[in-house]
Structures are given as C-alpha cells and as structure tokens.
Structure 1
Amino acid sequence: MSNAARTSRLRELVRKPFFWGLVAILALLALNVIKDPNYLAFSINPVNGNLVGNLVDILRASAPILMIAVGMSLVIATGGIDLSVGSVMAVSGAVAMVVMKDAGQSDSIGVALGAIGLALLVSAVLGVVNGVLVAYVGLQPFISTLIMMLAGRGIAKVITEGQNTSASNEPFRWIANGFVLGLPVVFLIAIAIVIVVGLVVRRSALGLMIEAIGINPKASRMAGIKPNGLLLTVYILSAVLAGVAGIMSVGTVMTVDVSRTGYQMELDAILAVVIGGTSLSGGKFSMGGAVVGALLIATLDKTIVFLGISSSATPAFKAIVIVVLCLLQSQRVRGWFVQRRRPPQATPEQKSVPSQEKQEVSA
C-alpha cells in the first residue's frame, strides 16, 4: 500500500467521530497506568477460573450504559430524546426484586425468569406510554419523557412501598456477577443484544426509515413511510433496553434503591450517543459509536474512582473530559486547526507581480 493510500485511510479514520472516543479511552488507561503500572494486569481466580482485573470491571460496568445508549441512539436518530431511561431502570429493578422477595428464599430458575419477564413487560408498557404521547398525541419528546422520568420514580416507590428491597436468587445474581469463558456474563449479554439490534436495523430497511424520519419527517411521510408506528417501536425498544439495564444494575447487589438505581443514567446515555457520533438533531446513528461511548463513560467513571478524585469534583472532571472530546469531534474546531497549518495563500496582486516581471525581461 502506497503512502498516499495510507494517509487517505488515516484521514478517513480520524474523521469518524468514534475515533476520538477510542483515543480518549486509551488516554484514560494510560493515565491510570502512570499511577499504577500494573493497572492493566489481570489474573485468573484459582477458585473459579474467572478473569480478575480492572479491565474486567470496566467491561462489567459498561453493560448497563451500553444498553441504554443503544436504545437512546435509535430514539435520537428519529429526532427525539428519552429522558426516562433512568427511571425505567428503577421500575424494572423494583419489579424484579419484589417478585423474587415474594417468592421467598428460592433459587429457582423459573422465579428468576418470571421476575425478568415481568420487569421487561412493565418496562415495555412504560415505553408504550412514551411512544403514544410522542407519536399519536403529538407531545414533544422532551416533555413526554420528562413526565415519565418523574412518574417512573413514583411508580418504583409504590412498587417497593418506598423501601429499599432485597431478594435472594442465585440464577438472577449470576446474570450480573457470573462469568462465561472467563468474561462477565452481563457484558456478553449486552454485546449479544447490540449485535442483534444492529443486524435488525442495518440488514433491513428499518434503520434507513428511522434515519429518514429524523432527517426530514415530511419528506419521509411523502415517501410512504408511516412514522407513528416506527416512533412507537423505538420508544418501546428504548424502554425495554433500559429495563435490561435495570436488571443488570440491581443484580449486582441484589438490592434496589429507588432513589439511586438509574440515577442520572439518562445523561450518561446521551453522552455516550453523542461521543459515538449520533447527532442530537436526528438522522444518522452508529451502533459501533454507541459501544465506544459506553466503554468511554465506564472507563471514565472507573478512572475517577481510581485516581481518588473527590466526589464533589467528579462532575467537573467528567465535564472537562467530555467537553474536550466533543471539541475534538467538532468539524469547525478541526477546520480552524487545518487553516492555521496551511501556508498563507498569495493575493491576486502578489500573483500578478511575477508575470509583470517576466514581461519586462522578455522586452
């Protein structure tokens, strides 16, 4: 491959928004390695043969973020937004914990599957409410999902009677804490779901229709696309994936804290989507970008804890990293740097001077 071809490919890669997300992940890992040279090292637990290390912890922590980021990317691609994913996580976790608590001290797989199924069903119902308000009633997505964000916490408190609820069920706990081939089950489940969703939206016309709605709703309607059903579908899918994230979150400690489960997760989801290159104005979306964004958010959270940054300064540190990353992704900012690197171009008057000199010499 020639140098020109390599340079062209490198430029294309740099222009991809998720490239800078990968750079940020590597930079954060390098920062952690500077503090502890053994940060990236991992070992095998001699008891169960599972991998143990900081990278494994990052993969496990990224799974819930990955779920809500994938759902959020589809919603944002239609020109909407879903602010209720954190509350849906709390509702899903509350339903699962209450079902298993009422079943008593049972390690039955049936009880675990029943709790998961009912939690996802309730999450889907909340998604239906969001979708109906947006697609059929015509409310703004920001207002509709903001209502559900506030109502969801109340629903979760009603389900748990306002108390932190714990349960015991080993099959359910295994989902969040188990390992397969040395890797966390929760991360493998998340990746499998992402692959399935990616294949559905990219191997069919569904993805193109979602993007068409986000780019120009009127033109898409004139082209024969019926937006109402698609809008309802993406909001249901976003809520179901948020329910999966809620199950993953509460399964780690087998306890649901209504006020903390899913708290501010909608912000992490939006950040992950933006980092991945999905425009908040709607249109193009990227499943791979959402994965990179979720991994970056999880890495950033772990880095903050590892560096011992004060909890009061955590939001500021997180904001600085995200702002710098968004600036690197900005076409306008990159254009400024390109203009500064280019040599100054000669003015028309300067260009005419050499020609005049040539004419005098020839005379």
Structure 2
Amino acid sequence: MTAPAPAPARTLDLRALRRVADHGMFWPVVALLVLLVACGLKSPGFLDVTLRDGHLFGQLIDLLRNSATPLLLALGMCLVIATGGIDLSVGAVMAIALAVSLTYLDGSPDPGSVGAVAVAIALGLAVGLVVGAFNGFMVAALGIQPFIATMILMVAGRGIAMLITQGQITTVTSPPFKSIGSGFLLGVPTPVVIAAVVFVLVTLLVRRTALGMFLESIGVNGEASRLAGVRARSTTWTVYVIAGVLAALAGLVYGAPTMAADANNIGLLKELDAIMVVVLGGTKLDGGRFNLGGLIAGALLLSTLERAVIIFELPSQTTPLFKAVVLIAVCVAASPYLRSLVESRRARASRPRPVEVVR
C-alpha cells in the first residue's frame, strides 16, 4: 500500500486559521486589539507605560486596574451561568458589602488600623456569603427560577444598603482600606493583583477538581446529572455562594479608592457588565461549557471601550450604545450560522467546475 500524499501547506494553514477563528476568545481578542490600536492612533501616549518610584503608571495600567471589578464579577457570574442560572443581584451585593464595611469603619475608634480594616473586609465578604447562600437556597432548595430568585435582592438590595447607611453617603478616612483599590503591590496596582490571585484560585478550583465537570453537567442536563450521582442541589448552592463572595469583594475593590458608600450608585448596572463579559468571553447563556480565560479578554475589552469613549471625546452617555454595538459585532462574528455560511461558500468556491466537452 502506498502512503497517502501529504496535504498541501496552504491547506494546513487554512485549517489552522479556521481552528483559531473557531476559538471563543478569537473575536473578543481581535476587537480588543482593534480598540487598542485605534486609541493609540488617537492618543499617541496611550500605549506608554512608565515606572515611577517603583510603581507602574500609564493608561494601559489604568485599563488593567479598571478591569479588576468586572473580572471579579464575571468569574462568579460565569460559574452560575454554567449551571444554567443567572445572578442579577451582584450589583446590589457590591453596594451592601461596601456599606457594611464602611459603616463599621466609621464607628471604629481607629479606622486606620490594620485590624479594623481586616474586620471590615471580613464583614463585607461575610455579607456576600450570606447573600449568596440566600440566592442558592431560593434556586437550589425551593426551585425558584434563578432570574426571579436573584431579582429579589437586585430590587431590595439597595434598600438594604440605604438602611445600613441611614440614607446617607458614608465616608471614611482609612489609608489601609483605600490601598485595596488604589494602592500598589510590587509595583502593580492592588486591584490587579487581587483579581489575578482570585482568577488563579477559581481556575484551580474548577479545573483541578471535579467541580467544573459537575457545573457543566448540571448546565447541560440537571436531571440527568442528578441521576448520574452529581449532587446538583449542593453544587448549585455552592456556586451562588461563590458568586456572592466575589461580588462583595468586587464592591470593596470598587469603592475603596473613594471610601464612600453611595447605595444608589455603587454597583449600578454592574450585573449587566458582568453578563456582557461572560458572553464576550465565549460562554453561552444556556449553560454547559464555560471559558474562564475568555473573561480576561472580555473584561479588558469592556474597560478599553469605556476608555475609548473618553479618548475620542464622545459623550459618556453614549457608552452603553457602543457596548451594545461591540457585543452585537462579536456575537455575530462568532455565531454558528455565520460560520456555516462562510464554510459552505468556501466549499462551493473550492469545488472543481465541470469541464465542458466540445464535440
């Protein structure tokens, strides 16, 4: 038998390009690079990074800092969506956690001490744990639809935060707490370090243990996974707790630079940003397979888009419009229908034409 002839190099290159284009992160990364290049052309110093006093500065560093909050929210949201659920309360959890932490510091005799800040952070994270447990109880134990169950705290959460702050904007002076959102660690902004550490921990949790497989099986078919021995109820409860804790941490990181708990504005519409980051990262909202690596590209794309609106001197009120345009463009480019249409036309073009025989 003769060995099959090797495929032409051009065919192999096309196959490799198709595999790259089919990856969920391809189009978000392309959109991110396009935005970065456009901002760099409009603002010549946009891509510059400088080192001053051992700390990194520059607009790219600011993008990384601003991406920390949506990445933290999207990590929890992604796990919830993998089970076929949704969490609309993450924005309200941000407000409640920050209100609890700053209210404690405001009543502390020494709000600038490390001990008081540690307790304040622990209280804020505990709020996220309790809220996440409540959401998980509503969804996993009572069987309420996730959209309705989490909408309860989405609506009532800000009222809870207003009760905690007594309807006022609580402000505190605490340099250690402020450093959570505006400080540096080894020259890198603290929010970036926090987001990176949490990302690594969550990745290890879902990829080095059976949790990730359980989440995907529940998202694909919850009843089948239960019959197969997966503890669907406790697993679903767990991911809502994780989402609540990460939302509380995001609220502390987001509000630390100003050290002001504004219950009306902290975390407002951040749940939509988290869902957008998850979708841009290549995770489908119907549950099942999820992509944590794509969340980084999605968070960076979201922050770059918000900065591009400022660089191009556009009204800030138009930011949601451009978010929608980018989301539509990325989703359409990655849609299975468009892929099949391109593949069919490509196959039709490469098909050999019949040779006409002249008699």
**1:38-78 CA distance string (max 9 Å, x none):** 21012222xx3211110010010000100010000000000
Correspondence list, 1:34-113, <5 A: 34-45=41-52, 48-113=53-118
RMSD of equivalent CA atoms: 2.0
Correspondence list, 1:110-125, <5 A: 110-125=115-130
What is the one-letter code of the residue matched to 1:22?
Answer: V
Secondary structure of 1:253's match? coil
CA distance in 2, matches of 1:260, 1:317: 21
**1:325-344 CA distance string (max 9 Å, x none):** 11111121232233334445
Secondary structure of 1:313's match? helix
Q: Which moved more, 1:164-173 or 1:133-142?
A: 164-173
The reply to whether residue 318 of structure 1 matches residue 323 of structure 2 is yes
1:143 to 123, 128, 148: 148
- Structure 2: segments with no counterpart, 5+ residues: 1-8
CA distance in 2, matches of 1:44, 1:105: 34
TM-score by length of 1: 0.92
1:17 to 17, 24, 36: 24
The reply to whether residue 283 of structure 1 matches residue 301 of structure 2 is no
**1:253-275 CA distance string (max 9 Å, x none):** 11111111001000010010011
CA distance in 1, matches of 2:350, 2:256: 62
Report the CA distance shift for 1:292/1:346 in structure 2 as closer, same or farther (over 3 A).
closer
- Structure 1: segments with no counterpart, 5+ residues: none
Secondary structure of 2:342's match? helix
Quick check: 2:43–2:311 contact (8 Å CA) kept in 1? no
Secondary structure of 2:63's match? helix
Correspondence list, 1:327-338, <5 A: 327-338=332-343
Quick check: 2:111–2:117 contact (8 Å CA) kept in 1? no
2:185 to 167, 173, 180: 180
Q: Which residue of 2 aligns with 1:230?
A: 235
Q: Which residue of 1 aligns with 2:225?
A: 220
CA distance in 2, matches of 1:292, 1:311: 22
Q: Which residue of 2 aligns with 1:199?
A: 204
Identical amino acids, percent of aligned pairs: 42
Quick check: 2:110–2:116 contact (8 Å CA) kept in 1? no
What is the one-letter code of the residue matched to 2:161?
Answer: A
The reply to whether residue 33 of structure 1 matches residue 40 of structure 2 is yes
1:208 to 196, 210, 213: 213
CA distance in 2, matches of 1:105, 1:121: 21
CA distance in 2, matches of 1:289, 1:206: 19
4+ residue segments displaced more than 6 Å: none
What is the one-letter code of the residue matched to 2:159?
Answer: G
Q: Which has the larger radius of gyration?
A: 1
**1:241-299 CA distance string (max 9 Å, x none):** 00000000110111111111001000010010011111100000111011211111111
TM-score by length of 2: 0.93
CA distance in 2, matches of 1:314, 1:273: 18
CA distance in 2, matches of 1:28, 1:97: 37
Quick check: 1:65–1:269 contact (8 Å CA) kept in 2? yes
Quick check: 1:105–1:168 contact (8 Å CA) kept in 2? no
**1:294-345 CA distance string (max 9 Å, x none):** 1111111111122221133222122111111111111212322333344458
Aligned length: 352
Quick check: 2:79–2:239 contact (8 Å CA) kept in 1? yes
Quick check: 1:276–1:286 contact (8 Å CA) kept in 2? yes
Q: Which residue of 1 aligns with 2:6?
A: none
What is the one-letter code of the residue matched to 1:82?
Answer: D
